[in-house]
């Protein structure tokens, strides 16, 4: 079971909402820091050092990245804007992983300029990189194990995945890069997403450790850093359990003794690039009940929509809903909780048992701290919401204002209007 208690009082929320109108995303700084610290602690045995590169796409906000930087995290980027944001936060050099796919030359250039660790997704990108930006001193390759591993529901089977180099290609790739004079080598994979089974990550470590040992033997390259990827899941549903990272770490440590040390690869850096598990559980979409209506079913219409949190509509994902101030009331009313988009799948919950709602009630949608705001969009003229950081000391800070109609219109060229090209 996972705890789905909303950690703040209704009074606190009303205080924030008095200043920042709903809907907004609210992040719990203290809980994010605690999560980062417990991850670092779980892996503090790693001889070459451990680091989590926060996957920027999960929650692309510089204030969040800044506090994670303070906890020793790096940044995992896959686009030019993510690299720029990372640079602006002052994260640089080997604290950046650039794990893109189908990548344009200017992104490789920017990554190289920032001295980021470039993680190549395809064997043809060796030539592409050399032609456009030159070969860096450090290189990483993304491995796709094909039918050597089974994937999971979200990411799919590795054989169907567009990512990474095949087993044969990866030996060839390191051989080529060795000839081209690369000095430092890293190895990466990402084969699961939102995975709750801790043994899956231990198996990923086994696969990569063995591959590093084989690369050493067959190609003569020494892998100095292994990136186990992200994909650590979170318990969206109350009956699910969080991944025990201490358990994962112990399993990885055992394999380190069994594979890495005998292969002469100690000390090795072991890193991850988790996003979801770091901020997901500690962000909430805060919204107000706007209209209650009774049709063939009971509907609670919120002032948020799937433009603010699209996972329920797109994946049928469960997101827990709390009604602060009514937690102790019987959950004896069944609602479809909806947004205002002209799409019938704009529902945060279907047939959800909640306390009796009233118009104006504040609701908190849980696990909205990753792939929440980040996946927002403007369809139907919906504007993206604000982001608020509830700080360690209990005060709150606006870390992104809500979009305005002017923002939405900013890229338009109205007929007859004279605007610069």
Ligand X SMILES: *Cc1c(COP(=O)(O)O)cnc(C)c1O
Which position has the token pair 């070969």? 135
Best CA proximity match to 107, nearest among 88, 134, 79: 79
Q: Is 365 helix (H, G, I), strand (E, B) or coil?
A: strand
Least distance (Å) from ligand X to the CB of residue 13?
A: 27
Least distance (Å) from ligand X to the CB of residue 188?
A: 8
In a 10 Å sphere around its CB, with 0-12 CB exposed, 13-18 middle and 19+ buried, how is residue 24 labelled? buried
Q: Name, in order, each residue with C-beta under 8 angstroms of 110's C-beta and a sequence gap of 6 or more.
A: 80, 83, 84
Closer residue to ligand X in complex, CB, 315/409: 315
Closer residue to ligand X in complex, CB, 229/376: 229
98-116 CB burial, b ≥16 within 10 A, e <16: bbbeebeeebbebbbebeb
Closer residue to ligand X in complex, CB, 245/300: 245
Least distance (Å) from ligand X to the CB of residue 251?
A: 18
Q: Name, in order, each residue with C-beta under 8 angstroms of 416's C-beta and a sequence gap of 6 or more.
A: none
Closer residue to ligand X in complex, CB, 309/370: 370
Closer residue to ligand X in complex, CB, 28/273: 273
Q: What is the DSSP string of 215-255?
A: HHHHT---EEEEE----B----STT-----HHHHHHHHHHH
Least distance (Å) from ligand X to the CB of residue 234?
A: 9
Closer residue to ligand X in complex, CB, 192/268: 192
Least distance (Å) from ligand X to the CB of residue 390?
A: 22
Contact assessment for residue 299 and residue 246, using Cβ atoms and an 8 Å cutoff: no
Least distance (Å) from ligand X to the CB of residue 417?
A: 40
Closer residue to ligand X in complex, CB, 58/363: 58
Least distance (Å) from ligand X to the CB of residue 421?
A: 35
Q: Give the span between the Cα atoms of 298 and 337, in whole angstroms.
A: 9
Least distance (Å) from ligand X to the CB of residue 264?
A: 28
Q: Give the span between the Cα atoms of 216 and 333, in whole angstroms.
A: 62
Q: Which residues bind ligand X (CB under 6 A)?
A: 55, 57-58, 76, 99, 190, 193-194, 229-232, 273-276, 370
Closer residue to ligand X in complex, CB, 149/326: 149
Q: Give the span between the Cα atoms of 352 and 334, in whole angstroms.
A: 5
Question: Could you tell me the sign of the dihedral formed by the alpha carbons of 171, 173, 176, 178, in that order?
Answer: negative
Which residue's CB atom is positioned nearest to ligand X? Answer: 230
């Amino acid at each position: 079971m996972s705890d789905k208690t909303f950690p703040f009082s209704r009074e606190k929320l009303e205080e924030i909402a008095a200043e920042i109108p709903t809907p907004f995303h609210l992040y719990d700084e203290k809980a994010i820091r605690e999560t980062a610290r417990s991850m670092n602690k779980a892996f503090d045995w790693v001889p070459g050092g451990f680091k989590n590169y926060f996957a920027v796409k999960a929650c692309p906000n510089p204030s969040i990245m800044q506090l994670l930087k303070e906890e020793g995290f790096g940044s995992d980027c896959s686009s030019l804007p993510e690299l720029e944001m990372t640079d602006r936060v002052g994260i640089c050099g080997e604290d950046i992983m650039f794990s893109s796919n189908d990548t344009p030359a200017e992104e490789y250039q920017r990554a190289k300029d920032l001295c980021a660790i470039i993680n190549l997704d395809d064997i043809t990108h060796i030539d592409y990189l050399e032609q456009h930006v030159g070969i860096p001193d450090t290189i990483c390759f993304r491995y796709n194990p094909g039918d050597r591993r089974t994937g999971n529901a979200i990411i799919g089977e590795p054989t169907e995945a567009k990512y990474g180099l095949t087993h044969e290609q990866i030996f060839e790739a390191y051989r080529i890069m060795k000839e081209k004079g690369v000095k430092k080598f890293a190895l990466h994979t990402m084969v699961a997403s939102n995975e709750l089974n801790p043994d899956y990550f231990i198996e990923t470590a086994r696969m990569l450790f063995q591959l590093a040992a084989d690369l050493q033997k067959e190609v003569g390259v020494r892998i100095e850093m292994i990136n186990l990827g992200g994909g650590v899941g979170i318990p969206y549903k109350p009956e699910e359990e969080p991944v025990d990272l201490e358990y994962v770490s112990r399993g990885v440590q055992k394999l380190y003794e069994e594979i890495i040390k005998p292969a002469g690869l100690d000390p090795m850096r072991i890193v991850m690039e988790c996003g979801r598990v770091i901020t997901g559980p500690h962000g909430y979409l805060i919204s107000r009940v706007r209209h209650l209506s009774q049709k063939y079913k009971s509907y609670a219409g919120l002032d948020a929509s799937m433009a603010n949190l699209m996972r329920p509509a797109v994946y049928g994902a469960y997101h827990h809903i709390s009604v602060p101030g009514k937690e102790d009331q019987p959950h004896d009313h069944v609602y479809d909780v909806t947004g205002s988009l002209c799409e019938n799948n704009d529902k945060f919950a279907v047939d959800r048992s909640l306390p009796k709602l009233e118009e104006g009630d504040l609701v908190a949608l849980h696990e909205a701290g990753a792939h929440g705001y980040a996946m927002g969009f403007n369809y139907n003229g919906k504007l993206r919401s604000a982001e608020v950081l509830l700080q360690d000391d209990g005060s709150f800070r606006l870390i992104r204002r809500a979009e305005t109609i002017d923002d939405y219109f900013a890229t338009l060229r109205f007929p007859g209007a004279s605007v610069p090209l």
